[in-house]
Amino acid sequence: MDPLQLHLLVNHLPIIGALTALIVVVIGVIRKDATIRTVGLSVYAVMALAVLPTYFSGEGAEERVENIAGISHDVIHEHEESAELSLTVMLIAAAVALATLLTQWKGMSIAQPLTYLFVVIALMATLQIARTGHEGGKIRRPDLGSAAPSQHIDND
C-alpha cells in the first residue's frame, strides 16, 4: 500500500471518530456519568492518534497527485497548512483527554474542570480537522470550493 492509498484509507477515521467520541463525552457530562465520559475520552485519545498516519502519509500522497492535470498546487498547499494545524490541536486535545482520564481515575477535584476544558478544545479540534478534510476534498473535487450552484445544461 502506497502513501496515497494509506492517506485515503485513514483520513476519515480521525474526523468521524473524534466527533463521535466528543459527542459521547458530552452525553457523559450531561448525564453526569463517569463511565460514559471515560469511554468517550478514551476513544477520543485513540482517534486523535489516528491523525498521525493520516498526516504523515500526506506528503507521499501529495507526490503522487501533484503533477496530475487539473490538480491545483494552491489547493494542496491550503490542505497541507490546515493539516499542520489539525495535527497540533488534535494532539493537544488527546493530551487533555488523557490528563482528564488520569485525574478522573485518581478522583482528583480538577477532573471536572478538565473535562470542560477538553470539550472546548476537542470541539475546536474537531472543527479544524473537518475543515482540513474539506480542503483535502477540493484536491480532486474543485467544485467543493465553489459557492455558486452548478449549471445544468439541458440537451433536449
Tell me the average pLDDT across 53-69: 84
114 pLDDT higher than 90 = yes
Query: Which CATH number is 3-65+72-142's, of 1.10.287, 1.10.3470, 1.20.120, 1.20.272?
Result: 1.20.120
149 confidence band (pLDDT: 50, 70, 90): very low
55 pLDDT higher than 60 = yes
Report the distance separating Cα 133 and Cα 129, nearest Å. Answer: 6
Tell me the average pLDDT across 84-99: 96
Q: Under a CB-based contact definition with an 8 Å cutoff, are residues 9 and 67 in contact? A: no
9 pLDDT higher than 90 = no
Q: Which pLDDT belongs to residue 145?
A: 66
Mean pLDDT of all residues belonging to the chain: 88
13-48 pLDDT, tens per residue? 999 999 999 999 999 999 999 999 999 999 999 998
Buried b (16+ CB within 10 A) or exposed e, 37-47: bbbbbbbbbeb
